Amino acid sequence: MVQTIFVSNLSPEVGEKEIQELFNQYGEVHSLDLVSHRKTGESRGICFVKMNPDDADAVIKALNGKAFRGRNLQVRLVEEEDRKDTAQTE
């Protein structure tokens, strides 16, 4: 079983590889989806990361509110509204 983590307030310059490396410090990343604008391809500053529940808890405790590339990350378990909001604003 995996849990999905919602990460927001990412710097637009941050790429998937950098996020993967950061999250791998706390456990195995099963998948990562960095959300970008359909038309421009620019990062929207949010991503979804799937990890084992214990690893997800560790990541949330370690990274929520922490500075990364000049921004304080918001890291929490995904809620249904997160997916709906992402789909509606593209």
For the chain, the three-class secondary structure string (H helix, E strand, C coil) is: CCEEEEEECCCCCCCHHHHHHHHHCCCCEEEEEEEECCCCCCEEEEEEEEECHHHHHHHHHHHCCCEECCEECEEEECCHHHHHHHHHCC
pTM to 2 decimals? 0.84
Quick one: pLDDT at residue 79?
Answer: 74
Quick one: pLDDT at residue 82?
Answer: 56
Quick one: pLDDT at residue 71?
Answer: 97
Domains of the chain by range and CATH? Answer: 3-88 (3.30.70.330)
Q: What is the mean pLDDT of residues 64-89?
A: 80
